[in-house]
Amino acid sequence: MHTAYKGILSAPLWGLIILSMIAPSVTVAGPQDRKHAVTQPSGSTASEPDDSVTNAYTFSRPSQSTPRPGPAWKTIGGTVTRIKGDTYTVEDYEGNQVHLHVSRETKHLRGQKKVGDRVRAEITRDGFANSIQ
């Protein structure tokens, strides 16, 4: 009778051992694992309410000081909410704000843009707008 208990208990034990070996490990993602970091614009002051954007996507630029034209990565569509220098802030259709960098090399289709215009931009990985319409 004692050996019957050993056989009954060993089957679930081996099942747990095998399951623990083949099951993928689950971990909690930390802030460093986020695809798009939430950042404050540099040089913001308390007197400028437009600089308090906290949910804006910025794209990584590991080795470049300013974004440059390159292969298209993504198309962003939405409404221009702010233009500051060569940076357009566009609120996409999901409510996310994206910073787009424009220059003389950006193709401006259908004229220059202003706040409130609906736009569609083809951007590079570092946030440079190759074209904006």
Boundaries of domain holding 101: 51-132
Residue 41 falls inside a structural domain: no
**Going edge to edge, which strands form the sheet with 74-84?**
56-57, 97-101, 87-92, 74-84, 118-123, 129-132, 107-108
What angle (nearest 5°) sits at the alpha carbon of residue 115, between those of residues 34 and 47?
70
User: In this predicted structure, what is the pLDDT of residue 21?
Assistant: 66
- Counted domains in the chain: 1
Residue 24 falls inside a structural domain: no
User: In this predicted structure, what is the pLDDT of residue 61?
Assistant: 47
Residue 93 falls inside a structural domain: yes
Question: Would the pTM count as exceeding 0.85?
Answer: no
User: In this predicted structure, what is the pLDDT of residue 84?
Assistant: 93
Residue 86 falls inside a structural domain: yes
Residue 42 falls inside a structural domain: no
- 10-residue mean pLDDT profile of the chain (133 residues): values are 64 72 55 47 45 49 62 88 93 91 89 92 89 91
User: In this predicted structure, what is the pLDDT of residue 3?
Assistant: 60
CATH of the domain at 59: 2.40.50.140
